Amino acid sequence: MALPLPRHPHPESGECSAGCRRAAFGDPRSRRMAATNHHGDITAMFQSGAPSGHMFHVSAGISVCCDQRLRMDDAARFLRTLTPLCRAVELRDPYTAGHNERVGKLARKVGGIMGLAPHDIEGLHAAAALHDVGKVAVPLAVLTKPGRLVAEEVALIRRHPFLGATMLADVDVLWPIKGMIEEHHERMDGSGYPHGLSGRDIHPSSRIIAVADVVDAMSSHRPYHPARPMEQVRSEIVAGRGAHMTPTW
């Protein structure tokens, strides 16, 4: 993850910036070692009489790293809440047991294949694992109805992306999770919901989640359809290229 630290013409300040990154973003053992060494680097700078401009650079670097580290810690705590939130949805509908987790794993895998940065893959995984959280506000009778839904029931189902995004509106993490969730049922040709977005107006991660969601839904048994063979699932997704979604393989 790249940090927007100022450029540093002074060698010592460059070493301090690197130490700052290691102390903030390495694994626990590396952070402890880097923090100890980093303290020594800063002390050496003061003892060497480095210009005040370099002192400012170090101070700015420390501030940025600490702020980013705090936000990453907040994000880690948020990710630990994923399991109970997803289970709350799945406990209401046994037919979707494990669906959120599988969609999260598949989206993470697709993101890796597409070459997304590790940080972006984590955000994609978080949003994918929570993509249906808004269904906690949809009546169970509608979620599990084996027959065709009437117009009013369809309208209730189609509110779940918006409801999920609303539930997470005040969650301050490093990724635009709210938008990813709200747009995961939008379609490339504008026929999706809740806002009828199309093409590049749809968040790229939402397109990945849409594919992962459809793959798992079609290949799993539901009250309204049996599980389909993966080859048939793949064929239908490819057939929808440019209309419903953008295939990622």
What local confidence, expressed as pLDDT, does residue 54 receive? 47
Mean pLDDT lowest among 14-28, 57-71, 102-116: 14-28
Average pLDDT over residues 102-127: 93
What local confidence, expressed as pLDDT, does residue 67 receive? 56
**When comparing pLDDT for 117 and 68, which is higher?**
117
Residue 171 makes CB contacts below 8 A (sequence gap 6+) with 78, 177, 178
Residue 245's DSSP bridge partners are 241
Tell me if the pTM is above 0.85: no
Residue pair 210/243 in contact by the 8 Å Cβ criterion: no
What local confidence, expressed as pLDDT, does residue 87 receive? 74
Average pLDDT over residues 192-219: 93
Query: For the chain, what percent of residues have pLDDT higher than 90?
Result: 31
| Residues 132-158: tens digit of each pLDDT | 989 888 998 898 888 889 999 999 999
User: Would you place residue 68 in the very low, low, confident or very high pLDDT band (cuts 50, 70, 90)?
Assistant: low
Residue 169 pLDDT > 60, yes or no?
yes
Residue 206 makes CB contacts below 8 A (sequence gap 6+) with 127, 179, 180, 181, 182, 183, 184, 186
Residue 7 makes CB contacts below 8 A (sequence gap 6+) with none
Residue pair 136/88 in contact by the 8 Å Cβ criterion: yes
| Residues 40-49: tens digit of each pLDDT | 444 444 455 5
Average of per-residue pLDDT values in the chain: 74
Q: Name the architecture of domain 81-239.
A: Orthogonal Bundle (1.10)
Is 145 noted as a catalytic residue in this protein?
Answer: no
What local confidence, expressed as pLDDT, does residue 32 receive? 43
Q: Please tell me which residue in 109, 135, 145, 178 is annotated as part of the active site.
A: 135
> What are φ and ψ of residue 73, in 5° steps?
-65, -40
Residue pair 205/181 in contact by the 8 Å Cβ criterion: no
Average pLDDT over residues 82-92: 72
Provide the residue count of the chain. Answer: 249
Residue pair 188/242 in contact by the 8 Å Cβ criterion: yes
CA distance readout (Å), 35 to 10, 31, 67: 20, 6, 16
Q: Mind giving me the DSSP string for 29-52?
A: HHHHHHHHHHHHHHHHHHHTT--H
Residue 4 pLDDT > 60, yes or no?
no
Residue 163 pLDDT > 60, yes or no?
yes
Residue 65 pLDDT > 80, yes or no?
no
**When comparing pLDDT for 248 and 150, which is higher?**
150
Angle at 211 between CA 206 and CA 213, to 5 degrees: 90
First-to-final CA distance of the chain: 26
Residue 91 pLDDT > 50, yes or no?
yes
**When comparing pLDDT for 118 and 63, which is higher?**
118
SS3 content of the chain, % helix, strand, coil (to 5): 65, 0, 35
**How far apart (Å, rounded) are the C-alpha atoms in residues 112 and 21?**
24
CB-CB neighbours of 163 under 10 Å: 19
Mean pLDDT lowest among 83-87, 191-195, 224-228: 83-87
Q: Show me where the domains of the chain are located.
A: 11-77, 81-239
